[in-house]
Amino acid sequence: MVADRAANRYTLGAEGLNFLDRRIRELQPDAILEFGSGVSTVILAARMAEMHGDDRPRVFSVDESETYLRDTHQMLAEVGLRRCARLAQREVREQVIRGHSTACYDLDESFLSSFLDIVPDLILVDGPSGGGTVRLGTLPLVQDHVHAPCTFFLDDALREEEIAVASLWRRLAAVELSRVHIVGHGLLEGRIVHGSR
């Protein structure tokens, strides 16, 4: 099941998923916040269930696509991991993020407070889909809802749009960029070092 879906050019791919799985084993996070659901959600849920048990969600995945979310629910159910992940559909809307106008997920305070049962200490950014700086808002919008320092990974890090997003993140006092791992479509690793408050 995972191999078939990992072949989709829009997913992280087997190489990227294997790399993330290894890093999660090393980092031992308590909870993961994921932007963009799919086969990666299943891999993350399986690893977190192995580390922490399968009695509560430790992967919190946000996507704009109801179709992707339905498919992800089905995959989780097929492998007995439905309780290990919580999924939410959020619209993408125009916003001003740190003075930059861009589209991004609608991640208001009340949604984040109710959605996240456990404070995440790892973030995977593989959504929303679309061009330009559509992924820019993910870190600034959640930085007060994660446990700092919080490691993050940005997929598609070798793409021009994600390079632009990374350069804008670099200007944020709370964000440190570490390295780009040349796996899959490229994975940028960094950390949110503190909240904005």
pLDDT the model gives residue 9: 54
Q: Which residue, 93, 122, 120, is CA-closest to 105?
A: 93
DSSP string covering 127-147, please?
-S-SSTTTTTTHHHHHGGGS-
Residue 74 forms part of a structural domain: yes
The number of C-alpha atoms within 13 Å of 140 and in the hemisphere containing its C-beta is: 22
Residue 159 forms part of a structural domain: yes
pLDDT the model gives residue 12: 79
Total domain count for the chain?
A: 1
Residue 197 forms part of a structural domain: no
At 121, which CATH number? 3.40.50.150
Residue 176 forms part of a structural domain: yes
Residue 33 forms part of a structural domain: yes
Three-state secondary-structure class, residue 51: helix
Residue 116 forms part of a structural domain: yes
Residue 101 forms part of a structural domain: yes
For residue range 31-57, list pLDDT tens digits in order: 999 999 999 999 999 999 999 999 999
pLDDT the model gives residue 152: 98
pLDDT the model gives residue 195: 75
The domain of 38 spans 2-192
- Residues 184 and 138: their CA atoms lie apart, in Å, by 21
Residue 128 forms part of a structural domain: yes
Q: Which two tokens stand for residue 70?
A: 């339905």
Report mean pLDDT in 10-residue bins for the chain, 197 residues: 54 86 97 96 96 96 96 96 97 95 96 96 96 95 96 96 96 96 95 82
pLDDT the model gives residue 3: 54
